[in-house]
Amino acid sequence: MLGSPGIASSGVGVGVVGAGTGTGTGTGGGGGSGGWKEHLLDEVPVAAEDVGDAVTCLLHTILFTRAPGPVRPSEATCQAFPNITYALCAVGDVSRKVDQAVRSFEEAVAQLGGSLASAGSSYVLGGGSSVMTPYGQPASVHSIGGVGSSSSSNVRGANSGCIVVTFFERKVKKALFGLMSNEEKAVFEKWILPVTVTSSPAASQEERELCAGETEAALQNALLHILTAVQSIEHIPIAMYDFEIRTYNTLEEAQVGSSYGGGLGSASVRLMP
């Protein structure tokens, strides 16, 4: 049972937040520090046919470990990556809404791929070492969208995007002697999941197997990152809070743009009533 925010699975060091975690003092939540945190996961390269499986795994892990109340765990296994299991956040219709967010991401990346193809543009994954740097160890600087990447496959034809999970409180402020009220969203945590979807139908079996191996290693790193980062709970509010999921086409938009600005694809997905 998950009895309080920030309680992750056993075997993860308490209070350790690794690379890719940022802090801010802008719009605060109700946590002890009054600030907010941003967690940037390493890029996950994944074949188009497996993107739903990979992204669903990460989203459910984040939502389960940040559930604001007791959640009965339900274990799931990635169909495309049987060595990877994760805990489903099976609360209400969360699974349905996660599926909706994943479909929106797939559609958005597909549309972006069409525009890139018409412009004669192509993205190449990596080209460097075939060994993925484990989470918590120094890695080469990387970003998404072809500016530079830590991925190592030579599979051509890929589209990049980011899925952003935002946690926030709803705060009502009254004005005009209490006759009017405005609702504000106070963000206290944001997770950025960079994903590169390989979509080349001409990829050989060897390339597809290489991509699958990279994806599995990237997912393992991402899960370790999540389970380590969630141990930091000083910024988590005591009151109930909400979730939103948005998709963006670049890392810059996901980081610099407003958490509630226009994202890539459909509008945000509310995960709690």
Q: pTM value?
A: 0.69
Give me the half-sphere count of Cα atoms (radius 13 Å) on the Cβ side of residue 112.
26
For the chain, give the secondary structure using H, E and C. Answer: CCCCCCCCCCCCCCCCCCCCEEEECCCCCCCCCCCEEEEECCCEEEEHHHHHHHHHHHHHHHHHHCCCCCCCCEEEECCCCCCCEEEECCCCCHHHHHHHHHHHHHHHHHHHHHHHHHCCCCCECCCCCCCCCCCCCCCCCCCCCCCCCCCCCCCECEEEEEEEEEEEEEEEEEECCCCEEEEEEEEEEEEEEEEEEECCCCCCHHHHHHHHHHHHHHHHHHHHHHHHHCCCCCCCCCCCCEEEEEEECCHHHHHHCCCCCCCCCCCCEECCC
Domain boundaries, the chain: 21-270
Asked if 163 and 136 count as a contact pair (C-beta separation under 8 A), the reply is no
Number of residues in the chain: 273
| pLDDT tens, N- to C-terminus, the chain (273 residues) | 333 333 233 222 222 233 355 655 443 334 444 578 999 999 999 988 899 999 999 999 999 998 877 778 789 999 999 999 999 887 777 788 898 899 988 887 777 654 433 333 322 233 333 334 455 544 433 333 333 333 333 444 568 889 999 999 888 877 777 677 787 888 999 999 999 988 666 668 888 888 889 999 999 999 999 999 999 888 888 878 888 999 888 888 988 754 443 333 333 333 343
Asked if 81 and 242 count as a contact pair (C-beta separation under 8 A), the reply is no
CATH top-level class of 21-270: alpha beta
d(CA 159, CA 216): 19
Asked if 182 and 126 count as a contact pair (C-beta separation under 8 A), the reply is no
Question: What local confidence, expressed as pLDDT, does residue 80 receive?
Answer: 92
Other beta carbons within 10 angstroms of residue 270's beta carbon come to: 11
> Would you state the structure tokens that stand for residue 60, as one six-digit string?
């459910």
> Rounded to the nearest 10 degrees, what angle do helices 205-229 and 51-65 cross at?
10
d(CA 48, CA 197): 5
Question: What local confidence, expressed as pLDDT, does residue 249 receive?
Answer: 82
> Would you state the structure tokens that stand for residue 12, as one six-digit string?
């993860």
CA nearest to 244, candidates 145, 143, 170, 161: 170
